[in-house]
Chain A
Amino acid sequence: MLAENPIHIANAEASDARSEAHLQLTHLEKRYGDFLAVEDLSVSVRRGELIALLGPSGCGKTTTLRMIAGLASATSGAIRVDGREIQTLPAHARDMGLVFQSYALFPHMTVERNVAFGLEMRRNSKDQIAGRVAKALELVQLGHLAQRRPRELSGGQQQRVALARALVIEPSILLLDEPLSNLDAKLRDQMRVEIRDIQQRLGITTVFVTHDQVEALSMCDRIAVMDKGRLAQIGTPQDIYERPATPFVAEFVGRINKLPGRGTSANEITVGDRRFGTAGKGAANGAVTAMIRPHRIEIVPRGTPADNRNAAEGVITRATYVGDILEYMVALEGGVTLAVETATGGHRRNFALGDEVELRWAHEDTLVFGADA
């Protein structure tokens, strides 16, 4: 009886780990000489989840992906899949599907041979390979191009071959390194939907490296924002966009206005002699920076009855028509200028240069950070 108990506990822990974290990075660090490319990174990815590593170039996101794939070795820290440390495994034994930004197709092989490569490495039978390759090509709608060479395909088609090649081996984890950044805007939108759709259908745990916040926000279950090798914030797209943890995250995931001010209480700041309500949990006293997204600000004519929103009077100094939106620059009294975006549409009132207007925005759209932002 005594001998049995620890085994039961170990099993329970293992199954627990399986349902909780499929891929787990713990205190991961990568050092190149004096340069810390990745620093103390801990991220836990659930089974079937699509998670983005989002950040500007040089933030360590690709390095992290390469460490997971086994193409780079971590200086310290752990990488676990289903609770098992995998860093002793070479890249070819890790069972991960990898899609590169450059697609990295084998130029000397046909589409079919490219996709079959991983199955040949696994010594599947010829019939089995043919069947699975055909199925994978069907999944990415390229069955009719099986005999082409990569150079005869468009960028989007090459991208799909790379995806099929990575998926056909039924990897435990799919790793995507900026897979859309070489495509033109229209195709990118289409592939975004397509990749998300395939990922959901297969239920495959996926790590998606990107510098494009729109891709991350629109495709992923959760986003890990990285800044200078460190994890800045991890959370759902809503968390990241509505409740950014740092000014860096706030600025990285979309345009935002910055206002220097002073904190007076947990949910109020002063900018000049104006008082604004905030999202709360702000730094109480001292210098702060308030941030407001341009499209969360409404422009109303002066004299509009007050509501329970923040209000500030100003003059329009620039109005730019960008098709779907109108971008205004509004100078407030006291030297601060705010960017405002409003959707264009027939029923909306448009303002012109020099108009004296009033700006309104909700308390919870006023994000407050320390003054050094």
Chain B
Amino acid sequence: MEQKNSLPFTIVVALLFVFLLAPVLLVFPMSFSGDNFMSFPPSSWSTKWYAALPGNTVLIGALWTSLGLAVVVTTLSLLIAIPAAYAIARIEFFGRETLFALFTAPLLLPSIVLGLAILIVFVGIGLISTFPGLVLAHLVVTLPYALRVLATALSTLPHQVEEAASSLGATPLTVFRRVTLPLMTPGIVAAAALAFLVSFDEVVISLFVVGPRITTLPVELYRYVDTRADPLVAAASVFLILGTVAVVLIVERTMGLNKAVGKG
């Protein structure tokens, strides 16, 4: 196999990375702007937007809501998706493929359509502008991701290892607890991280469900730039970027560790 990449290939990849990352990286200098409106390059430098951040009670409140929401949504996603993925990957039953297609269908629908549909249903049953309402709405988007990742993790796990366990006297529940679950840990970590990030970043569907009583950080940031032009959002974005990188790094470390321990 060819090991060294050619120079033109390296240049194309470098350009792609610049194209993808430049807007994100621009946020960093902008957050240290001394101006009262967003411009690049800033005419002066200061940390005043970082100082102003903790004082913005709306954004801070929305941050806590988003964090709590992401934690609850992630937990529920795993609790639902792990048994569902197991059933779909391991148990033969009528309509199995249809069910899997149905479960993962929201991935293919435009978020705006989903948001509108959720709004129509939720208005009738009083879930708009409530925490449970947001949880349910986010689950619609996070479940397909979690299910897909977990089903893939299960399908790469050799079935014979489970059969060996049962031939050694393990009941189906014990097989799942002692063999299946530990072996699908990398998949579970990946599914959890994905569900967490999807929920934490979700804007479109949240826009339909939030209200005066409850709001999320992405929605508030969106509203903020709609009415104001100062670089406060840049400072907030820096924290979001660092937070996301932290989650990805944690996953990488855990997955890496798990691969070291788990793969035969």
Contacts and interface: CB of A to CB of B under 8 A. Distances in A.
B263 A151 contact: yes
B262 interface: yes
A172 B175 CA distance: 22
B183 A104 contact: no
Interface string A89-112: 011111111101010111110000
Nearest to B261: A108
Interface in B187-232: none
B84 interface: no
Contacts of B183: 107-108
Contact of B163 (A91, A97, A105, A162): A91
A69 interface: yes
Nearest to B182: A108
Contact of B160 (A97, A102, A149): A102
B160 A121 contact: no
Contact of B167 (A92, A122, A149): A92
Contact of A98 (B167, B174, B263): B167
Interface in B132-166: 158, 160-161, 163-166
B2 to A, nearest CB: 28
B179 A121 contact: no
B20 interface: no
Nearest to A69: B167
Contact of B262 (A91, A92, A107, A118): A107
A104 B166 contact: no
Contact of B174 (A71, A90, A94, A121): A121
Interface string A146-182: 0001110000000000100110010000000000000
B184 to A, nearest CB: 11
B166 A105 contact: no
A117 B170 contact: yes
Given A150-B264, A151-B263, A104 B161 contact: yes
- Among A93, A96, A104, A169, the one with the most B-chain Cβ atoms within 10 Å of its Cβ is A104
- Chain B binding surface, main DSSP class: helix
- Among B160, B161, B164, B170, the one with the most A-chain Cβ atoms within 10 Å of its Cβ is B164
Contacts of A107: 161, 183, 262-264
Contact of A118 (B161, B163, B168, B172): B168
Nearest to A123: B169
A96 B166 CA distance: 10
A239 B174 CA distance: 45
B198 to A, nearest CB: 28
B174 A100 contact: no
Contacts of A106: 161, 164-165, 179
Contacts of B169: 92-93, 95, 118, 121-122, 169
A105 B168 contact: no
B171 interface: yes
Interface residues of A, number: 30
B180 to A, nearest CB: 11
A169 B161 contact: no
B163 to A, nearest CB: 5
Contacts of B264: 105, 107, 149-151
B238 to A, nearest CB: 39
Nearest to B161: A104
A105 B264 CA distance: 8
A204 to B, nearest CB: 15
A70 B183 CA distance: 23
A169 B167 CA distance: 10
B156 to A, nearest CB: 12
Contacts of A95: 169
A108 B164 contact: no
Nearest to B175: A92
Contacts of B167: 69-71, 91-92, 94, 96-98, 166
A91 B166 CA distance: 6
A122 B174 CA distance: 12
Contact of A165 (B160, B168, B261): B168
A169 B165 CA distance: 12
Nearest to B183: A108
Contacts of A169: 168-169
A118 B168 CA distance: 5
A204 B85 CA distance: 40
A107 B185 CA distance: 13
Contacts of B263: 107, 151
Nearest to A107: B264
Contacts of B261: 108, 149
28 contacts: A69-B163, A69-B167, A91-B163, A91-B167, A92-B167, A92-B171, A95-B169, A96-B167, A97-B167, A98-B163, A98-B167, A102-B160, A104-B158, A105-B264, A106-B165, A107-B161, A107-B264, A108-B183, A117-B165, A117-B170, A118-B168, A118-B169, A149-B264, A150-B264, A162-B164, A165-B168, A166-B168, A169-B169
Interface of A: 69-71, 90-98, 100, 102, 104-108, 117-118, 121-122, 149-151, 162, 165-166, 169
Interface of B: 158, 160-161, 163-172, 174-175, 178-179, 182-183, 261-264
Given A90-B166, A162-B164, A166-B167, 5 more contacts: A92-B168, A108-B182, A108-B261, A108-B262, A121-B169
Please list the 8 inter-chain residue pairs (A to B) with the smallest Cβ-Cβ separation, ordered nearest first.
Answer: A107-B264, A121-B169, A118-B168, A104-B160, A98-B167, A104-B164, A91-B166, A151-B264
